[in-house]
């Protein structure tokens, strides 16, 4: 059997939809991230978990139906914004050439409370069976919503899921299966995940919830769970050019690797992560000194932050002293399934506007985390290229590079920083 024809043409980002706890809509979220404004608070209303026990960064959204999964509602919201932002003439696009890659999500478990006689924890509902345990429901619902008939792709890879959705969409375009694709992920806080992370002792606590998440700080305790999501329109460059689309950034390259180490632990020697960075730069035809900014995974756990710093220094060499890095989980929380896609959106917006977001609560930097982590206040910086990293349970590692679209006549114009 002959291999399918692979298209080496570049893939570009032409639309972004974004929502998080700090705002509804791309520019609202980005303004909050630029200023380091958080909305973390004590959580209440999680069945089986005492009110006020955990800190989170939830999205306040009124669901169109009480029976709709919140994560699916968020996917619908951000997919609508991404499609509108890309300014597509749907009548001129073949729906069979428009793919969809939305990462898998937690199923609806509300019926379990009823089955085990604990319906008082959650009001009785009529939950569609397709949303109870099918993890690709969001992908199907979003694709149907926008009449996308190209390849549908859905992966479950923990905290790297959003990045892998982008990776698979990009490859579907490069493989010639489609001309453009909607790709991304969303996350809602669920009692099972919250209880699990609490038992693992990886969740942060602090008298002031907005100071709880402290990546790279000596006093870090762990992360804060967040909600939200990001969706992208990815497009073959010649297709974007032909329709006069505006471009946020070009995806120069991406790679996936894994640590054969532990389901939840990270290799303290950072061999696999360092190798991933090196391979991603090689695939992107970039040198370490080309990278001006890294949006790190930055979970604010003792082990992860040190290992990630070590990997960056090993892969980047002396260039590590010249680059800047930030952990935006300190502002938005850890969006688990959607962390990679949301942080990729932040990276693209940082490139568009020439502004690097801060790492909040970094008041006592850990000497073992000795990168320039942009403490407390963001800064202006014109980026040529940026790197995004994701490190997930199960040992899954993902990385992408973005480069400025200046060589294209249809680059996105920066948003005034005062806006």
Catalytic residues: 159, 297, 334
Q: Please report where in the chains the tokens 């006069």 appear, as a residue.
A: 244
CA distance 238 to 18: 25
- Give the closest residue to 93 by CA, choosing from 15, 6, 185, 9: 15
CA distance 50 to 55: 12
CA distance 269 to 266: 9
DSSP reduced 3-state for 217: strand
Task: Give, in degrees to the nearest 5, the angle at Cα 217 between 211 and 220.
Answer: 60
CA distance 153 to 139: 7
CA distance 342 to 21: 12
Task: Give, in degrees to the nearest 5, the angle at Cα 131 between 126 and 137.
Answer: 155
Tell me the Ramachandran region of residue 87: left when phi exceeds 0, alpha when psi lies from -120 to 50, beta otherwise. left
What are the φ/ψ torsions at residue 20 (nearest 5 degrees)?
-160, -175
- Please name the residues in contact with 412: beta carbons below 8 A apart, sequence gap of 6 or more: 246, 247, 248, 352, 405
CA distance 77 to 328: 22
Element (H, E) at 358: none
CA distance 375 to 98: 41
The first and second tokens of residue 83, run together, are 């499609």
């Amino acid at each position: 059997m002959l291999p399918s024809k692979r298209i080496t043409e570049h893939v570009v980002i032409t639309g972004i939809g974004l929502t998080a706890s700090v705002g509804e809509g791309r520019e609202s979220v980005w303004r909050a991230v630029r200023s380091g404004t958080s909305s973390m608070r004590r959580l209440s209303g999680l069945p089986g978990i005492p009110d006020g026990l955990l800190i989170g960064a939830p999205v306040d959204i009124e669901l169109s139906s009480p029976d709709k999964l919140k994560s699916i509602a968020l996917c619908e919201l951000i997919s609508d914004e991404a499609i509108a932002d890309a300014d597509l003439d749907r009548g001129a696009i073949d729906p069979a050439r428009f793919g969809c890659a939305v990462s898998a999500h937690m199923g609806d478990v509300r019926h379990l409370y009823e089955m085990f006689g604990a319906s008082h924890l959650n009001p009785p509902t009529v939950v569609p069976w397709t949303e109870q345990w099918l993890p690709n429901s969001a992908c199907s619902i979003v694709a149907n919503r926008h009449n996308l008939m190209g390849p549908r792709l859905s992966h479950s890879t923990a905290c790297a899921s959003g990045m892998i959705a982008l990776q698979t969409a990009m490859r579907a375009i490069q493989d010639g299966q489609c001309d453009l694709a909607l790709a991304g992920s969303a996350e809602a806080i669920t009692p099972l995940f919250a209880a699990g992370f609490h038992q693992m002792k990886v969740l942060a606590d602090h008298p002031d919830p907005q100071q709880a998440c402290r990546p790279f700080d000596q006093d870090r305790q762990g992360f804060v769970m967040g909600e939200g999501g990001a969706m992208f329109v990815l497009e073959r460059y010649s297709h974007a050019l032909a329709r006069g689309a505006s471009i946020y950034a070009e995806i120069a390259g991406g790679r996936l690797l894994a640590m054969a180490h532990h389901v939840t632990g990270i290799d303290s020697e950072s061999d696999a992560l360092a190798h991933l960075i090196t391979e991603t730069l090689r695939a992107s035809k970039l040198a370490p000194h080309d990278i001006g900014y890294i949006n790190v995974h930055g979970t604010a756990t003792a082990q992860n932050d040190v290992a990630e710093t070590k990997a960056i220094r090993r892969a980047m060499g002396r260039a590590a002293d010249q680059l800047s890095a930030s952990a935006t989980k300190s502002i938005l929380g850890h969006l688990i399934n959607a962390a990679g896609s949301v942080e990729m959106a932040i990276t693209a917006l940082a490139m568009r506007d020439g502004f690097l977001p801060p790492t909040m609560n970094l008041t006592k930097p850990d000497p073992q985390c000795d990168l320039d982590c942009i403490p407390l206040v963001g800064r202006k910086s014109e980026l040529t290229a940026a790197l995004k990293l994701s490190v997930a349970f199960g040992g899954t590692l993902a990385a992408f590079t973005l480069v400025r679209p200046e060589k294209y006549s249809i680059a996105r114009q920066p948003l005034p920083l005062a806006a």
